Amino acid sequence: MSLDKDQVQHIAMLARLKLSDAELVQSVEKLSRIVDFVDQLAAADTDGVVPMAHPLDAAQRLRPDVVTDSNERDRFQQNSAAVADGLYLVPKVIE
């Protein structure tokens, strides 16, 4: 196994994913196989190759800095599980 339980637990925390014990065991096995598989890239000779930034070598376009959207907060907040007075509610962060 190229990854161990602690490493996968750490990755899951970085990705903000809660895994059950069974999921963790399964993830160690499957992620290890994926990592082993992509490790074949190491053998490729890429000396001096510029990493691709865009498939068509296009540059990022900028738009004029003007307001183009209207305020539709109430409509958008209909998709949230917990809102009040236009605010999104989350568990208490500051004691």
Partner 1 sequence: MMELYTQTLNELSLGLEHGDFTSVELTQALLARIAAHNEKLNAFVTITSDEALAAAERADDARAKGRAGILNGLPIVHKDIFCTRGIKTSCGSRMLDNFISPYDATVVEKLAAAGAVVLGKANMDEFAMGSSNETSFYGAVKNPWDLSCSPGGSSGGSSAAVAARFTPAATGTDTGGSIRQPAALTGTVGIKPTYGRVSRYGMVAFASSLDQAGVITRTAEDAARLLGVMAGFDERDSTSIDQAVPDYTAEIGKSIKGLRVGIVRQHFDAGLDEQTGVRVKEAIAVLESMGATAIEVNLPNIDLSVPTYYVVAPAECSSNLSRFDGVRFGYRAENPEDLLDLYCRSRGEGFGDEVKRRIMTGAYVLSAGYYDAYYLKAQQVRALIADDFKKAFADVDVIAGPTVPAPAFKLGDKVDDPIQMYLNDIYTIGANLAGLPAISIPCGFVNELPVGLHLVGAHFAEASLLRAAHQYQQQTDFHRACPEGFQ
For residue 71, state whether it binds partner 1 (rule: CB under 8 A): no
Q: Footprint of partner 1 on residues 3-62 (CB under 8 A)? A: 3, 8, 11-20, 23, 26-27, 30-31, 33-35, 37-42, 44, 46, 49-56, 58, 60-61
In the complex, least distance from residue 93 CB atom to partner 1, rounded to whole angstroms: 6
How far apart, in Å, are the Cα atoms of 61 and each of 50, 57, 64?
A: 21, 12, 10
- How many alpha carbons fall within 13 Å on the CB side of residue 40? 4
Q: Return the number of the residue (6 or 60) whose C-beta is nearest partner 1.
A: 60
Query: CB neighbours (10 Å) of residue 28?
Result: 19
